[in-house]
């Protein structure tokens, strides 16, 4: 019996379209908690004034997952790949606006049944509209 396809119609309607941007004030505690979570002892991050480069991926992640799962028939999301381009360090006091755009979507069979492979490009700008980072992520949903 062939595997049932995933119903990706609603998700496909969001292909190539910028999703609603969200803004996040960067507080010292956010940076400190991230540094503690990843266990990075680098004194540059001590005090929570400047974030490690990979902190950018944590900004808006929870909202992104909610936005994606509200229109896609997945129980699970896995990270396939990540690419970060850093333009400016992220510092306490900044307000970072995050926007996502899905640039590719395909479906194929895998170990877990039918799975969707999605690529998202995201931009991160500060309160002065300065570009802080760009990311590209491949996300797997099933």
Using CA of residue 118, residue 94, residue 30, residue 32, what is the dihedral sign? positive
SS3 of residue 55 by DSSP: helix
Q: How far is the CB of 41 from other proteins (least distance, A)?
A: 9
**6 contributes a contact to other proteins by CB under 8 A:** no
Tokens matching residue 56 = 């950018």
Residues 18-47: x where in contact with other proteins by CB under 8 A, - otherwise, as a string:
----------------x--xx-x-x-x---
Query: In terms of CB distance, is 13 or 53 closer to other proteins?
Result: 53
Structure tokens belonging to residue 74:
């997945």
Residue 34 host element (H or E):
helix 28-38
Binding interface with other proteins (CB under 8 A): 34, 37-38, 40, 42, 44, 52-54, 57-62, 65, 75-86, 111-112, 142
């Amino acid at each position: 019996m062939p595997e049932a396809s995933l119903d990706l119609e609603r998700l496909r309607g969001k292909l190539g379209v910028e999703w609603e941007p969200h803004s996040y004030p960067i507080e010292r505690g956010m940076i400190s908690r991230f540094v503690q979570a990843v266990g990075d002892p680098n004194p540059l991050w001590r005090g929570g004034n400047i974030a490690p480069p990979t902190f950018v991926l944590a900004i808006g992640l929870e909202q992104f997952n909610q936005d994606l799962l509200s229109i896609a028939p997945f129980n699970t999301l896995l990270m396939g790949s990540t690419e970060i381009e850093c333009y400016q360090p992220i510092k306490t006091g900044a307000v970072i606006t995050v926007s996502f755009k899905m640039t590719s979507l395909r479906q194929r069979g895998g170990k877990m049944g039918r799975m969707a492979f999605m690529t998202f490009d995201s931009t991160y700008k500060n309160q002065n509209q300065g570009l802080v980072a760009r990311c590209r992520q491949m996300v797997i949903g099933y």
